[in-house]
């Protein structure tokens, strides 16, 4: 169970990073990934990860709702059912988060988290299965992102201007603490990008000061080397093993 939680959390975590340009994230975008885990040297498909964007309007503001959900394939549901939901409501122009929510249900283990961003302060609420709800208020930097919005931020970075080996530092908030993240541009590679066909991509290595990620340059993300910068392939190495997410479908881009 924790493996799956780790994989999905790690996916969101290491997909993180920052921006330099005007965001090119459109409402109505839908990216579908097949999540695989390395079992005895063979990649076994376990779950589908779906990332969607949607405009949400309140009486005073407009937000971009970034939704990321993971669900095990039906053949696994009888053995180990996962239904995870990661959400972030961000400013459509700056991608600065206002509200982040995480709701996981993995083989019966449940956990709910909510972060409300009030300037440089976060009011967090956490509820684990069979445990009382806890609340906490903590300070973060002005550029701190949550694990969902940071993935979209990464897509606004202009990697075409980066030299191989060039790095950039970022900060994300995860499990009620700030985590420094370093992104390293590793060059261009062509990979399969689902319905988009074979695409030239920016290969980026993700390093975070957390136990969730293992190895140097073993957590990688390939973003299509175009204006959209769609994540085509993600490889991760975590304490309990390795896995990957491959893009199967990208629509509304």
Partner 1 sequence: MRKILIITATIFCLLGIVFTILPMGTIAIIPIGLALLVAFLAFKKSDGKQQNFPKIVLFVTGICILLVIGKELFIKDEIAKDAGFEKTKIENKKEDKKELEALESDLE
Give the residues lining the site for partner 1 (CB under 8 A). Answer: 34, 39-40, 42, 44-45, 48, 56, 58-61, 63, 65, 69, 71-77, 79, 83, 85, 87, 89, 98-99, 101, 103, 114, 116, 118-119
Quote the least distance from Cβ 74 to partner 1, whole Å. Answer: 4
- The CA radius of gyration of the chain, in Å to the nearest whole number, is 17
Burial class (CB in 10 A: 0-12, 13-18, 19+), 160: exposed
Residue with Cβ nearer partner 1 (14 or 115): 115
Burial class (CB in 10 A: 0-12, 13-18, 19+), 230: buried
Quote the least distance from Cβ 131 to partner 1, whole Å. Answer: 20
Q: Where are the alpha helices (DSSP H) in the chain?
A: 2-14, 74-77, 149-154
Residue with Cβ nearer partner 1 (54 or 226): 54
- SS3 state at 151: helix
Quote the least distance from Cβ 60 to partner 1, whole Å. Answer: 5
Quote the least distance from Cβ 187 to partner 1, whole Å. Answer: 32
Residue with Cβ nearer partner 1 (128 or 228): 128
List the one residue out of 146, 79, 154, 157 whose CA is nearest residue 114: 146
Residue with Cβ nearer partner 1 (69 or 205): 69
């Amino acid at each position: 169970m924790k493996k799956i939680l780790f994989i999905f959390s790690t996916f969101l975590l290491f997909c993180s990073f920052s921006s330099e340009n005007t965001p090119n994230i459109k409402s109505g975008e839908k990216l579908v990934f097949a999540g695989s885990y390395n079992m005895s040297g063979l990649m076994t498909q376990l779950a589908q990860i779906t990332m969607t964007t949607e405009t949400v309007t309140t009486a005073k503001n407009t937000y971009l709702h970034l939704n990321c959900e993971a669900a095990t394939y039906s053949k696994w549901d009888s053995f180990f059912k996962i239904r995870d939901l990661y959400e972030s409501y961000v400013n459509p122009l700056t991608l600065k988060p206002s509200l982040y929510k995480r709701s996981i249900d993995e083989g019966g283990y449940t956990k709910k988290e909510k972060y409300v961003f009030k300037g440089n302060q976060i009011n967090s609420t956490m509820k684990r299965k069979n445990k009382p709800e806890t609340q906490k208020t903590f300070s973060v930097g002005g550029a701190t992102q949550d694990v969902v919005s940071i993935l979209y931020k990464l897509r606004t970075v202009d990697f075409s201007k980066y030299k191989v080996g060039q790095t950039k530092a970022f900060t994300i908030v995860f499990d009620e603490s700030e985590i420094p993240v370093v992104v390293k541009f590793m060059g261009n590679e062509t990979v399969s990008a689902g319905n988009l066909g074979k695409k030239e991509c920016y290969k980026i290595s993700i390093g975070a000061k957390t136990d969730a990620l293992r190895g140097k340059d073993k957590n990688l993300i390939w973003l299509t080397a175009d204006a959209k910068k769609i994540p085509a392939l993600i490889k991760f190495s975590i304490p309990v093993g390795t896995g990957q997410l491959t893009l199967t479908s990208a629509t509304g881009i």
